[in-house]
Amino acid sequence: AAKNAGGGRWTWFDPIMDSRADTDARLGADLRQAIARDELFLLYQPIVELPTGRLAGLEALVRWRHPEHGLVSPADFIPLAERNGQIIEVGRWILAQAMRQIAAWHHEYGPAAPEKVSVNVSARQLNEPGFPDEVAALLASTGLDPDRLVIEVTETAVLGTGAALESVRRLDALGLKIALDDFGTGQSSLSLLVDTPVSWLKVDKSFVDGVTVDSPEAVIVDGLIGITRGLRIQAIAEGVETAEQAARLHQAGYRFAQGFHFARPMPDSDVALLLDRLSHRESRQIQLI
């Protein structure tokens, strides 16, 4: 039975009734059909420039509308798709879809279109030797300017193998930007910031959560600003839920932030409404209500 696991996440797994192997097998069989049946779709969450309130970019986040079980969170099916290899095909669909969408927005809205769209890419995709060539082919077929595209990777994915690191370098050579996602929660290695061509560092929500109190997390949030500035990396605070957090992050020197305080992930039709409003305004202040 479907149950709400909180935070808007829906899941129907019953850990007592189902072993993970059963669930994986059932869900994997369904996922195999999901692309053909048009059940996957993307939401886009605004990334906001703190000093101005400007819409700086959007992060594409996948969803699966399962015919029987309703909306399935990527936290439930992406890890499965990584285990069984389906992430290659699913990831290919996500990237193509996001790149076509951002190209269409640029065509339609010109300067009012979001500067950048971020797409999450998993370790398994990065380790496919053909991945950078696929991205290059999509850039060519969509006509998208490479610096409009940000590929989000986790520290763990990049540290995993030499192949992943090589992919990241080839993506950088294509002219797109690399973001290190969930920074601080993986196998953090500061040498990664030196050895890889990282343009964006996304400071994980678990640090942002503690930013308004006297906490070790707040010390880390503050410290990372000095590091990113010195290395000419842009820091983005993830998971900002309150005005108080936003103000504190701004004061700490964060230029970019993302979180429910500003906007939830939204369908492309809502992004279009937002861009309609922004294109009729001089400033690009984000006003979501």
Binding site for ligand C2E (CB under 6 A): 7, 45, 60-62, 73-75, 78, 91, 94, 120-122, 152, 181-182, 239-241, 258-260, 265
Among the listed residues 120, 142, 167, 258, the single contact to Mg ion using CB under 5 A: 120
Cα 10 to the center of its chain, rounded Å: 20
Q: Is 217 in the site for Mg ion (CB under 5 A)?
A: no
Residue 57 binds: one of Mg ion, ligand C2E, none (C-beta under 5 to 8 A by kind): none
Is there binding between residue 152 and Mg ion (CB under 5 A)? yes
Choice from 82, 115, 181, 209 touching Mg ion (CB under 5 A): 181
Q: From the list ligand C2E, Mg ion, none, pick the one residue 94 interacts with, judged by a Cβ distance below 5 to 8 Å according to partner type.
A: ligand C2E
> Pick from Mg ion, ligand C2E, none: which does 49 bind, CB < 5 to 8 A by kind?
none
- The span from the CA of 204 to the CA of 289, in Å, is 26
CB of 280 to ligand C2E, least distance (A): 27
By the 8 A CB rule, do 114 and 56 touch?
A: yes
* The entry of ligand C2E, Mg ion, none that residue 10 binds, CB within 5 to 8 Å by partner kind: none
The tokens for 280 are: 């009729």
CA distance 249 to 222: 8
Out of Mg ion, ligand C2E, none, which partner does residue 114 contact, by CB within 5 to 8 A per kind? Answer: none
How big is the CA angle at 92 (ends 89 and 96), to the nearest 5 degrees? Answer: 145
- Cβ proximity to Mg ion: between 70 and 79 the closer is 79
- Burial of 206-226, coded b for 16+ CB within 10 Å and e otherwise, reads ebbbbbeeeeebbebbbebbe
Q: How far is the CB of 118 from Mg ion (least distance, A)?
A: 6
Question: Pick from Mg ion, ligand C2E, none: which does 265 bind, CB < 5 to 8 A by kind?
Answer: ligand C2E
Smallest distance from ligand C2E to CB 91, Å: 6
Which residue has the CB atom at the shortest distance from ligand C2E? 259
Q: Which is nearer to ligand C2E, 87 or 112 (CB)?
A: 87
What values do phi and psi take at 234, rounded to 5?
Answer: -90, 135
Please report which residue ranges of the chain form alpha helices under DSSP H.
Answer: 20-34, 74-84, 87-109, 123-126, 131-142, 155-160, 162-173, 190-195, 205-208, 216-231, 243-252, 268-279
- Applying CB under 5 A, the residues found at the interface with Mg ion are 120, 152, 181-182, 238
